[in-house]
Structure formats: C-alpha cells, structure tokens
Structure 1
Amino acid sequence: MAYLGLMTTTVLVVGGGPAGMACAIAMAQAGVPSEIVEISEDWRPGGIGIALQSAPLRAMKQLGLFGALLAVGRPHRFIDMCGADGTRFAEVPQVNVNDPDDPPFLGMARESLHEVMVAEVQRRGIPVHLGVTVRRIGAADDSGVEVELTDGRVRRFAYVVAADGVNSATRASALPHAPEPAYAGQVIWRAAAKCPPGLDRYTMLIGGPVRVGLVPLPDGGLYLWMLDTTIGPERPPRDQLLELFQERLGRFGGAAPAVAEQLTDNAQIDFRALQWLIVPPPWHSGRTLLIGDAVHTTTPHMAYGAGLALEDAVVLGELAGSGLPFDEMATAFETRRFERARLVVENSLQLSRWEQEPGPPNPGANRLVGETMATLAAQI
C-alpha cells in the first residue's frame, strides 16, 4: 500500500508515557507539530508513585509544567535513613539546582504526573491516537518516512521518535543489533496507602537484603517501595503476592507496621523485576530516533529514570526547532545525552549490585550517590 503525498513537518511520537508526552510538548514549544500514538486504549500510567529530583524539575520548568507539579506534589528536602527498627542514623539533604526556594525533590502519585502532562498535551492540541501503534516503518528519504499504523492507515511523517519503553518494539526493528534489557538481580514491590500519623519525611528503612522506602504524598497519601534480593525475577502467583510482601515488610519497625496493616488484598501489591539497559549510539536509524527507556533503562536507585526521559525531551525539543537535518539532529541528541544516561544506568546498577552483597551497606554507596548527583546538577 503506497502513500502518495508531499513532504510533511509532522513528527510521529510512539508512546504516550512521560517520555512521549514530554517530547510532544517540547516540540510544540519549538513550533514542531507532532502526533502521539499510544498502544493502550485507556491511557493510564504504570506504577504507583514517583519522585522527581531537582534536575528533572528543572526540565519540567523548561516544559512549563513546574507550577502544576508543585500543586500535586509533596516537597522533600531530606531523606531519613533508618535501620530496620526505624531508628534514624542519618539525614540526607537533597540537592537543589533551581531557585533557592524551590523544592529539591517532589513526591507524587503517578496518576498526578500523568494528569498534569495529559492536560498540557490537550491544551496544546497535540493529537493522541489511543489503541494504536506502529506496525511497520517503511522506506525513508530526505523528506520523510512512510509509517503503517496498526489501525490500517499508512501515513507520512517527517521522522519518528520512539518513546515506547524498555520493551520497545521499535528498538527491535530500528536497532536490531542493540542489546536487550537485562535483569539487575533485584525486584521491587510497590503499594499505596494512607500516610501514618507522625511520618512527615521520606524515610528509608534498611534491613539486610531488603530495604523499604516510605514516601509521604499530598492529601495524606503514601507511596511504599521495597527493594528485595530474596526472590527471583519471576512474578509470584497473584494470590501469593500479599503474603510474600507482608513477610518481608514484617521485619521492619518504625512506620512500617502501620502501613502493613492497611494492605489486605493481593490487588494492592505491585511486583516487578528490575531491568537495566544502555544502548551504545547510534540511537537512530533511517528517520527513526529512540529516546527514554527504549535506549536507557535504569534501576530506581538514583530515582532518575523518569528524569532522564524528561531531560531527553527538553534536549530533543531544542534540537528539533533548530532546523538541522535529521541525521545531524539525531547525532547531536545522542552526543548530548549518552554519557549522562550511561552515568545514571551504570551507577544505579552498581548500587543495586552492592545491595545484593551480604553484610553491612557498602561504604562506597554514599560517595557514589554524591558524585553522581553533583554531575547531574550540570546543565543538560
């Protein structure tokens, strides 16, 4: 089926998650029209909670979304580090790269971030096609590329930006020699609850091969994550999730018991194996460019996975509006983003591997986190 048409300036963004929406918003700011295809029909966010550090919040400022995020996020200026019994042994200040009065760290529900970004996509009139993705990316030339969509349409776009996540189908076709995501050796459990009275700050509880994060959210909510090295990557049967989760959470004191008693149903528990991926450049082929988790998936140890994707979008928006030919634009994007992404992925993975070692926490962890955050404070 051939497409007969003239040159187009519209960009196709594959994926309607934070990376894809941020990309479309950044391009709209630069005067570059785009459309989003999202394979999900209900367009709901994955996950439960999210934390955005100061540098990703800087990117959100550039996208014009900082004020909206302040309205739905809860600031955290410190993280309390505690033993398994809840006794605090350290207070870790969070780095601020923005205005002195800005929060260095915002915790929020994934749904809240999603709603803020959807509202901006709609305000800008960016078309979003739900239940649709790419079936085939055809031949490309200097004026664009033909794309067949899963709804049967064949259209021509200036180029394609693939923001379709760690399991990117686009990566397999556009970069067939790219490495596949690898298991990091840990899993993460997640749950949402009401914040117990007296828990006001982001708190980490460390108990050998398991560690827990309790993140107070706005309106009395709480996001709980639990990193675990005592179980393999295969998802347990759904009817066992709560029991296995409670077994692990039961070793912790502090506010953990008050959270545990709220969790009574398997459906409240989310379980995922941690994966990592760093694809060496190039991240583009033909007139298709990959961004976000499709080329750099990180474990959550630096809380920077979504942050990298948001930064990708800002840089790509800037370059997309520069008028560079596609190959030059894509190469410039990769040059600016690869080392930063590699730093986050590899250092997060190192923290994960140290956590899997027996014995007390590795003394190099604090140094590695500090050095990484200092580097990430630099402008993108």
Structure 2
Amino acid sequence: MSSAVVGRVLVAGGGLAGLATAIALGRKGIEVRVVERNAGFSSNGSGITLMGPALRVLGDLGLVEACLDRGYGVTELVTATAAGELLETVDLPRLLGPKLPAIAGLYRPELLNVLLEAALATGASLSVGTTVTDFEQTGTAVAVAFSDGTTDRYDLVVGADGWLSPTRGRLLGAAAPAPVFLEQAVWRAVVRRPGDFTRSTFLYGTRRKAGFMPISADRMYAYVVESATERSKPAADAAPEMMREMLADFSALPAEIRESITDPAQVDVRPLHKLVVPSPWSRGRIVLIGDAVHLPTPQLGMGGGMAMEDGYVLADVLTSEKTVEAALSAFTRRRFARCRAIVDNSVQLSEWEKNAAEHGPEAARLMNESQQLIAQPI
C-alpha cells in the first residue's frame, strides 16, 4: 500500500529523467503514465559516462549490475597532453564500495533499454508519439489534454521533456528562461577500443580538448570539444571527415582509431548550452526535472546522473512529506543548490577548454573538487 501524497502521476518525456522517475515512483506503489513525443523510446547512438552519483542511483533502483553487464567499469580518470603525457589523475570516489567501479561507460541506447525494461516491470504505462498539448490545474488535480485528442486527470504532472521543454514554457510562460549557447560543440563517435584503453582520459591540445571513454569490452567513444560560433550542425555526410581532422591533433589517439570514423550515423554533434531555472521548480501540481531545469555541459558527465537523481528524490519526497505542496518544496530545496553548483562548475570547465592547453592543470583541480561535490548525499 502506497503512503504517497499522490496516486496517479503523468510524466512528460521518456528519456533518462522520465524513465528513472517512472521506476522510482512505480516502486513506491504510485500509478505512472509516461508520454514520449518520439515514435519510440530511443536515444542517439553515442556513449554516456555514468559518474559515481549516477551509479549510486542505479544501485538504489536495483539496476547497476544490469548496466555494468552491458557497459564497462572504470576506476581511473586522467588528464593528459595531446601526445598522452600524464598531467594529473582525478580522484574518483567509489560511491558503491571498493568492489564496484567508480564510474562506468555505456552505449546510451543500452542504458535507455535498461531503464525501459525496469519501468515496464513496475507497471508504468508508456505511450509514444504523444505530447501534452494543454493542462489546467484545479487545486486537487491537473486536467491534461494530449495530442491524440484524449484527456485525463492526474494528481501530479512531471515535466521531464528535456532542455527545450515545452512543459517549462507552458508552465512558466514569459518568465521561462531559455538555454544559453556557449559557443562550443562536442563531437562523439563510437569506435573500436584497443585493449590498453581502460581509463577515462581527457586530452588537452593547443586548440581543443579530446578524449575517450570505454563503453564495452570492445568499444569506446572518442570525443572532441571545439569552439563553435554558430549552433548549426554540419551536414551529416561531412561530419566524419571533419571529426577525423579535429582528432588529428591528438597523437595519443591512434591513427587507426581516427580513420575508423567513416559512417555519418556514427558521429553525434551537439552544440553546448547551459540552463538553471530559478527556484522553485514547481507551480501547484506541476514540477520540472532534469534538463528542463538544469542543463550542464558534459565536462563533468553529470547531465544524465542529475536527471536520474531528480526522479529518485522526487519519489522520496512524495512518500515522506504530508502534502503535495510540502513534497515539491522539499524537492527543490534538496536539488537546487547541488544542481546549480554542478552546472556552474561544468560551464567553467567548458570556458577554460576554449584555451585547453593553458588551463589543463587548473581544469584538473576543479574536476577533483567537483568529484568531491558530486559524491555528497542527495
């Protein structure tokens, strides 16, 4: 029997935040429906780094073993020159104890599949190709209209619909802040992993930062961060050659790895943005989570981790507080300062990487400090 202050919850968005929320709520006995605007629950084909806090949440949800089975555990993160000369080792707290890795790499669609399977196992209802077109709060419920012409009522609506969140715009109106472009882009490609590439490695060159992260027994993802004055992405057929050229500055990454980047579908290019929505993150019975309210850059690998933390904490407050108002107030109180600090630190690292060679040691120090921050309880 659930002790939650809500019985039925709608989650708008079927990404990491939305599915983690569905799992956490479902395991508390709360009825959950997830609507996803895309035609299926899918993700881009790049890799993802699961830092210690992400593994901690996955452990609390009973999913860490499934993720490690499909991914690759890592115990060491290092920074190095473009030629591979070691600069500094970043201290990675082992939040799940000495027998499990500090962080892990995973093919992003594999992570989504783990979460999707778990959400279904909790009894969540999942609808694809569906969006929220309108909602109206009545004090005790939220009346919701959907793109398929149907309507329904819920005790709570969770906006987990990403950095361009329509729920944020609909809820906050003219007060809704927009993500800020940081004049950078990150390029990622999944490639074959040489057997001796077992660490997460950041490479600082004179113009760019690059690196790699193992994601399975035989694969890793390579990436490069570049300055970009425009938000536009390159033509797909030109992307592999452009990425190979950028990685040519990094001799620590073998030429055969660079030359294996040939398929346009293999390359994922993302302009970098930042966002922190001012507190509070809820209005009445509608709450925003994940990238919809806090969008870091990938320099700390915490975007997905913070999103999943949100779902876990939201389920906790909804079953520990006595009213919806108190629960949502507690949610923002527990999450705001932590998420803002992680966004701020990631953005500082992003800024320094515009002159990566000059700021390599400084960046490593901030990364070490950030690891202590993100290791704190949620």
User: Do they superpose with TM above 0.5?
Assistant: yes
Larger mean Cα displacement after TM superposition, 344-353 or 316-325: 316-325
Seen in structure 2, the aligned counterparts of structure 1 residues 358 and 250 have a Cα distance that, compared at 3 Å, is closer
The structure 2 residue matched to 1:141, chosen from 138, 141, 146, is 138
Contact 2:79-2:89 at 8 Å conserved across structures: yes
State the one-letter code of the partner of 1:152: G
Seen in structure 2, the aligned counterparts of structure 1 residues 8 and 206 have a Cα distance that, compared at 3 Å, is closer
Q: Equivalent residue for 1:318?
A: 316
Contact 2:208-2:355 at 8 Å conserved across structures: no
Alignment RMSD, CA only?
1.8
SS at match of 1:264: coil
Q: Equivalent residue for 1:173?
A: 170
The structure 1 residue matched to 2:338, chosen from 314, 336, 340, is 340
State the one-letter code of the partner of 1:146: A
Q: Equivalent residue for 2:155?
A: 158
Q: How does 1:50-129 map to 2 (within 5 A)?
A: 50-129=48-127
TM-score (norm: length of structure 1)? 0.93
CA–CA distance in structure 1, aligned partners of residues 217 and 357 of structure 2: 38
CA–CA distance in structure 2, aligned partners of residues 268 and 363 of structure 1: 31
SS at match of 1:327: helix
Q: Which runs of 5+ in 1 are unaligned?
A: 1-6
- Whether 1:207 aligns to 2:205 is yes
Contact 2:208-2:356 at 8 Å conserved across structures: no
After the TM superposition, list the runs of 4 or more consecutive aligned residues in structure 1 that deviate by more than 4 angstroms.
none
Contact 1:249-1:256 at 8 Å conserved across structures: no
Contact 1:72-1:218 at 8 Å conserved across structures: yes
Q: Equivalent residue for 2:241?
A: 243
CA–CA distance in structure 2, aligned partners of residues 253 and 364 of structure 1: 22
Seen in structure 2, the aligned counterparts of structure 1 residues 256 and 205 have a Cα distance that, compared at 3 Å, is farther
Q: Equivalent residue for 1:4?
A: none
Shift of 1:323: 5.1
Shift of 1:265: 2.7
CA–CA distance in structure 2, aligned partners of residues 213 and 135 of structure 1: 41
State the one-letter code of the partner of 1:267: A
Seen in structure 2, the aligned counterparts of structure 1 residues 200 and 219 have a Cα distance that, compared at 3 Å, is same
State the one-letter code of the partner of 2:148: D
CA–CA distance in structure 1, aligned partners of residues 357 and 253 of structure 2: 24
State the one-letter code of the partner of 1:71: D
CA–CA distance in structure 1, aligned partners of residues 229 and 251 of structure 2: 21
- Whether 1:46 aligns to 2:23 is no
The structure 1 residue matched to 2:7, chosen from 4, 9, 28, is 9
TM-score (norm: length of structure 2)? 0.94
SS at match of 2:350: helix
State the one-letter code of the partner of 1:281: S
SS at match of 1:99: coil
Contact 2:233-2:269 at 8 Å conserved across structures: yes
Q: Equivalent residue for 1:377?
A: 375
Q: Residue deviations 1:261-315, cap 9 Å, x none?
A: 1112333211110011000111112321000000000101111111111111111
Shift of 1:122: 1.4
Shift of 1:8: 7.9
The structure 2 residue matched to 1:293, chosen from 287, 291, 294, is 291
Seen in structure 2, the aligned counterparts of structure 1 residues 357 and 206 have a Cα distance that, compared at 3 Å, is closer
Contact 1:77-1:93 at 8 Å conserved across structures: no
Seen in structure 2, the aligned counterparts of structure 1 residues 375 and 359 have a Cα distance that, compared at 3 Å, is closer
Q: Which runs of 5+ in 2 are unaligned?
A: none
Shift of 1:363: 4.2
Shift of 1:22: 0.4
Contact 1:185-1:353 at 8 Å conserved across structures: no
Q: Equivalent residue for 1:3?
A: none
SS at match of 1:128: strand
Shift of 1:351: 0.8
Shift of 1:70: 1.9
Aligned sequence identity (%): 35
CA–CA distance in structure 2, aligned partners of residues 348 and 205 of structure 1: 17
CA–CA distance in structure 1, aligned partners of residues 289 and 12 of structure 2: 10
CA–CA distance in structure 2, aligned partners of residues 362 and 213 of structure 1: 13
Shift of 1:359: 5.5
State the one-letter code of the partner of 2:44: G
CA–CA distance in structure 2, aligned partners of residues 259 and 335 of structure 1: 45
